[in-house]
């Protein structure tokens, strides 16, 4: 008895092989990206987010916008003790997008609405995650509030910089 494969059988076998091959390539690419990310110093948008101590002593968010970029949402999250999850403790949203580059955490500037109100002041020794969703990117940066100093901006790597240095470094990520 001879076994013959019809054109349909060989086509189906080719499709199955092709799908397996595509999945293998996709898996390889995903693993390469996952392994490369820890080696990166930062994700590009992180340099545009900073935090300082305002004149009133409260945390003040600083964000440097690229041309035509607008802020859509700002959220502050408290990481859980297990480090696997977080809870949003304050969030504001702008329907049209805002070009505001400084916001006192817990306050609602013009053009924004409260999504999650800040129910109590942030502890001065808290570690927080700040997410800023813009029309271009969504950087999320961890900050230790105990490191805030008046007149200096705390950046993603834990360094305190001047306002001018912060702005110059952040603008380097803007598309030209």
pLDDT digits (tens, 9 = 90+) for 74-91: 999 998 887 778 899 999
Angle at 81 between CA 80 and CA 82, to 5 degrees: 90
> Is the pLDDT confidence value at 8 over 90?
no
- Residue ranges per domain, the chain? 8-39, 44-171
In the chain, the percentage of residues whose pLDDT exceeds 90 is: 58
Phi-psi region of 14 (alpha: psi -120 to 50; beta: other; left: phi over 0): alpha
> Is the pLDDT confidence value at 27 over 50?
no
Q: How many CB atoms lie within 10 A of CB 157?
A: 11
Give the pLDDT of residue 34. 36
> Is the pLDDT confidence value at 36 over 80?
no
* Stretch among 11-20, 119-128, 147-156 having the lowest mean pLDDT: 11-20
Instruction: Pick 44-171's CATH classification: 2.60.120, 2.60.40, 1.20.120, 3.30.160.
Output: 2.60.40
Give the pLDDT of residue 47. 86
- The larger pLDDT score, comparing residue 7 to residue 41, is at 7
Beta strands in 19-155 (DSSP E): 49-53, 59-63, 71-79, 86-98, 102-104, 113-116, 127-134, 140-144, 153-154
User: In this structure, what DSSP letter does residue 87 have?
Assistant: E
| Dist CA 160 CA 70 (whole Å) | 25
pLDDT digits (tens, 9 = 90+) for 10-23: 555 554 555 555 54
């Amino acid at each position: 008895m001879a076994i013959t494969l019809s054109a349909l059988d060989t086509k189906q076998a080719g499709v199955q092989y092709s799908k397996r091959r595509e999945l293998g390539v996709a898996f390889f690419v995903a693993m390469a990206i996952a392994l490369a990310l820890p080696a990166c110093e930062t994700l590009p948008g992180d340099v545009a987010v900073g935090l300082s101590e305002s004149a009133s002593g409260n945390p003040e968010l600083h964000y440097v916008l690229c041309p035509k970029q607008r802020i859509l949402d700002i959220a502050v999250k408290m990481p859980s003790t297990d480090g696997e999850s977080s809870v949003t403790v304050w969030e504001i949203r702008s329907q049209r997008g805002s070009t505001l580059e400084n916001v006192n955490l817990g306050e609602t500037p013009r053009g924004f609405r409260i999504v999650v109100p800040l129910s109590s002041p942030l502890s001065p020794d808290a570690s927080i995650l700040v997410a800023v969703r813009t029309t271009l990117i969504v950087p999320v940066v961890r900050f230790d509030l105990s490191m805030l100093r008046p007149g200096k901006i705390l950046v993603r790597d834990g360094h305190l910089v001047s306002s001018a240095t912060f702005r110059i470094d952040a603008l380097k990520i803007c598309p030209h």
